Amino acid sequence: MTGPYDLITMGRLGVDLYPLRTGVPLGEAETFGRFLGGSAANVAVAAARLGRRTALISRTGDDPFGGFLHRALRDFGVDDRWVTPVAAYPTPLTFCEMHPPDHFPLYFYRRPKAPDLEIHAHELDLDAVRAARVFWMTGTGLSEEPSRGATLAALAARSRRAVTVFDLDWRPVFWDAAGGAAAARPHYAAALAHATVAVGNAEECEVATGEREPHAAARALLAAGVELAVVKQGPEGVLAVHRDGTAVRVPPVEVEVVNGLGAGDAFGGALCHGLLAGWDLPRTVRYANAAGAIVASRLACSSAMPDRDEVAEVLRGGGATAAGGPPGPGTGASDDTGPRPGPGTGPGAVPGDGPGPGAGSAAGGASAGDAASAGAPTGPHTGAGASDDTGPRPGVTPGPATGLGAVPDAGPAPGSPLAGRRPVGGGA
C-alpha cells in the first residue's frame, strides 16, 4: 500500500494489565487481561477500527512484551514500521483497578525510563510525517529528551499543514523530575505554535495556557496559535471553538460505565475519523462522544474500540453493547460516514497538502485522546493518569456547567441518552 497515511500518531506505547473482575483491589486480583496500551497507540487503533490507514511512531523494550505489542498493532491494522526496540529499557507496564463508575486507579511501571521517550529526531521519517493527512502528538512526549526534540522536529516538519493535533495530555508524574507544570508550560507553548488543533481537559488547558474556565481556555488556545480548541468537561460534555467563530457544546452520552480508561482514545480516533470525512464540528464531536461511550461500557481499551456499525447504532439510540469485538482492524459494513478509504488516500475532505475551508476541515477538525480522557468520568487516581493513558486525569473534578451564552447545543442523536446511566462525554 502506498500513499500518505490518514493518521500518524507519536508517543506512548506499553502493555496494560487489567484485572478481569471489577471492584477488586490489585492486591486481591488473581487473573489479569493483557492488552495493548498507550494513548498514541490506542488513538491509532481507534481510527484503524473505523477504516482509516494509520501508523505509530514509538519504541518498546527489546523483550517479549515488545514482541507482543508489535503483533497486536499489526492485528489491529496499525503500521508498526516506526516502532523500534530499545535494549536498555523494558517495555512499560500499567496496572489498574476498576471501581465503576468513576474510580480507576493506575499504577505505571516506566522506570528507569520508558522506551517511548527514547525517540530521536534523526530516526524520524519526516517525509511521511509531512504527508500524513492527520498527525497526532501528546504532551507526555515533551516531558524528556530525546523525545521532546523529536516531537518538536516532527511538528516543525508539518509546518501547520493539514490537521496537526496536540493532545495536551498532562501527566504530572512524568514531569516531576523536570519541575512540574511551570517547567512544562514553555514546551507546551512551543508545540502549540505548530499545532492546528488542541485537545485537553480543564487541568491540561491550565497547564498549557494558565486558563481553566472552558471558554477562557478555548480563547487562550486559539491565541496560542491553533485553529480549533476542544475543551473536554467530563460529565458536562465537550466545548469546541474554532477560530472562524464557530462554537459548539455537545453533551455526553449516558452509559453503564465498566471501565472509563480508553474512552478518551476512542474519542480521539473518532474525532480524527470525522474530520477526515469532512464533517461539520457538531457531527464530529457527537460521533466521538458515542465512540468514547462505547469503550467506557466495556472492560478493555484497545480491543474495545468500536467499528463504524457500533458507533452508528449508538447514534441511532440503540445503546452501547457490553462486549467489544475481537482485536483486529475495523471491518464494519457501513455507517453514515461514507465509503471506506482506499489505499493511502481515503474519502476525506482534508487533502494532504493543506486544510479545507470551514469547520471540520484541516483547521476545523478536532481530536482528543488519552488522550483526552474522553468521556471517562473523573475520580481519584494513583500516579499520573491513564494506562492507555486514556483515563481520566488525576485530581480533576468537573464542576457545574458554565454559562455558554449563544453557543449552540449540538445535542445527542435522538434517543441516545439512556436514562439512569452515567454521562460519558469528552472526558475530564
Cα 59 from Cα 116, distance rounded (Å)? 5
At residue 366, the pLDDT reads 31
Among 137, 197, 125, smallest CA distance to 161 is for 197
CA dihedral sign, ordered 409, 412, 414, 420: negative
Residue type, 220: A
Percent of the chain past pLDDT 70, that is, above it, reads 74
The SS3 call for residue 136 is strand
Enumerate residues 6+ apart whose C-beta is below 8 A from 65: 15, 90, 91, 93
Do residues 93 and 17 lie in contact, with contact meaning Cβ atoms separated by under 8 Å? yes
Cα 172 from Cα 143, distance rounded (Å)? 10
At residue 144, the pLDDT reads 95
Residue type, 348: G
Among 407, 405, 402, 397, smallest CA distance to 203 is for 397
Cα 242 from Cα 266, distance rounded (Å)? 22
Mean pLDDT lowest among 120-134, 312-326, 409-423: 409-423
**pLDDT classification of 401: cutoffs 50, 70, 90:** very low
**Which range has highest mean pLDDT (159-163, 195-199, 288-292, 321-325)?**
195-199
Rg of the chain in Å (alpha carbons): 19
pLDDT at residue 87 above 60?
Answer: yes
323: left (phi over 0), alpha (psi -120 to 50) or beta: beta
Higher pLDDT residue, 343 or 231?
Answer: 231
List % helix, strand, coil for the chain (3-state, nearest 5): 30, 20, 50
At residue 324, the pLDDT reads 41
At residue 322, the pLDDT reads 55
pTM of the full predicted structure? 0.78
| C-alpha cell, 203 | 487541568
**pLDDT classification of 348: cutoffs 50, 70, 90:** very low
Partners of 35 in beta bridges: 16
Among 140, 158, 156, 157, smallest CA distance to 148 is for 140
Q: Which helix (H) or strand (E) holds 150?
A: helix 147-158
